[in-house]
């Protein structure tokens, strides 16, 4: 039905519709080469890179669309995380052509350059592009990322936690973090001390709760971060800020936490 309609429009309709009809009918193939890190611990002794050719005219315009096309039409064993497809969940974070990013926010360019995909660096690999994030999530839970109250009266859940516009504005650039781990896995200090250093992602979140005017445990939060490894392994090289796909500034947040720790003493 569609092809007949397009033929009709191509012959008898306006130049714009005729042009559209030719575009849909012709749909010239455009192949893009993907080179993807593969590792299945059940059968592989060591990882290897595997190549796939994807016709961009058959898939959407984002890198995640290309991965879904490969899994659906070429190799169903390819394993990767994905969910929202809109840069909100952080699931599809990976190393893209040497830089950490989100597959759903990375456009596919129609050129001859190969797309090289690896898992986020210096993390244990579960399979292919899927990393084990247990350690970072445990560190995240350790900072207690929720509003904490000191006084009995403040546990009256019928009361609202009101903020002024100025107090609310302090959270801008902090609450948008999607826990994708792009910043943390770009940090050499975290590569060397993942068991002790909290890393940019967690410290960014820690600062988010420290500056929240509704929280009543600010002093305790600052005190808990006053540690040679938990906080001060950050050397300010700013890889984290460069890697953030949401354009946040974890490096600045860590500096602010250090400033609060120093002024507390």
Same domain, 123 and 155: no
**pLDDT tens, position by position, 203-229:** 999 999 999 999 999 999 999 999 999
| Residue whose tokens read 């946040």 | 248
Same domain, 125 and 103: yes
Task: Decide if 15 is inside a domain.
Answer: no
| Residue whose tokens read 């009995």 | 152
What is the number of structural domains in the chain?
A: 2
**pLDDT tens, position by position, 40-69:** 999 999 999 999 999 999 999 999 999 999
Same domain, 185 and 236: yes
**pLDDT tens, position by position, 178-207:** 999 999 999 999 999 999 999 999 999 999
Cα(169)–Cα(256) distance, rounded to whole angstroms?
A: 16
Task: Decide if 21 is inside a domain.
Answer: no
Structure tokens belonging to residue 40: 């299945």
Task: Provide mean pLDDT across the span 69-92.
Answer: 97
Mean pLDDT of the chain: 90
Task: Decide if 89 is inside a domain.
Answer: yes
Task: Decide if 220 is inside a domain.
Answer: yes
The answer to whether 190 and 136 are in contact (CB under 8 A) is no
Same domain, 125 and 140: no
Choose among 173, 264, 192, 190: nearest CA to 231. 190
Same domain, 37 and 117: yes
**pLDDT tens, position by position, 93-106:** 999 999 999 999 99
Find the helix or strand (DSSP H, E) in which 253 lies: helix 250-264
Task: Decide if 107 is inside a domain.
Answer: yes
| Domain housing 186 | 134-264
- Per-residue pLDDT band at 17 (split at 50, 70, 90): very low
């Amino acid at each position: 039905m569609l092809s007949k309609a397009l033929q009709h429009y191509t012959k008898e309709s306006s130049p714009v519709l005729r042009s559209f009809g030719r575009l849909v009918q012709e749909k010239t193939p455009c192949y893009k080469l993907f080179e993807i890190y593969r590792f299945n611990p059940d059968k592989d002794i060591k990882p290897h890179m595997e190549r796939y050719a994807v016709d961009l005219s058959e898939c959407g315009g984002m890198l995640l669309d290309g991965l879904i096309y490969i899994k659906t039409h070429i190799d169903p064993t390819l394993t990767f995380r994905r969910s929202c497809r809109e840069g909100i969940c952080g699931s599809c974070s990976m190393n893209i052509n040497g830089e950490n990013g989100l597959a759903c926010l990375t456009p596919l360019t129609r050129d001859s350059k190969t797309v090289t995909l690896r898992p986020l660096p210096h993390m244990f690999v579960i399979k292919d592009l899927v990393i084990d994030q247990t350690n970072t999530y445990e560190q995240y839970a350790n900072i207690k990322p929720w509003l904490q109250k000191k006084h009995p009266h403040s546990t009256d859940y019928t009361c609202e936690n009101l903020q002024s516009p100025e107090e609310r504005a302090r959270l801008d650039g902090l609450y948008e973090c999607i826990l994708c781990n792009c910043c943390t896995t770009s940090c050499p200090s975290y590569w060397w001390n993942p068991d002790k250093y909290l890393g940019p992602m967690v410290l960014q979140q820690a600062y988010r709760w420290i500056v929240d005017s509704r929280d009543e445990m600010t002093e305790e939060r600052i005190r808990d971060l006053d540690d040679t490894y938990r906080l001060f392994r950050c050397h300010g090289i700013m890889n984290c800020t460069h890697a953030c796909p949401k354009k946040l500034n974890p490096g600045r947040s860590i500096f602010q936490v250090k400033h609060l720790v120093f002024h507390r003493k």
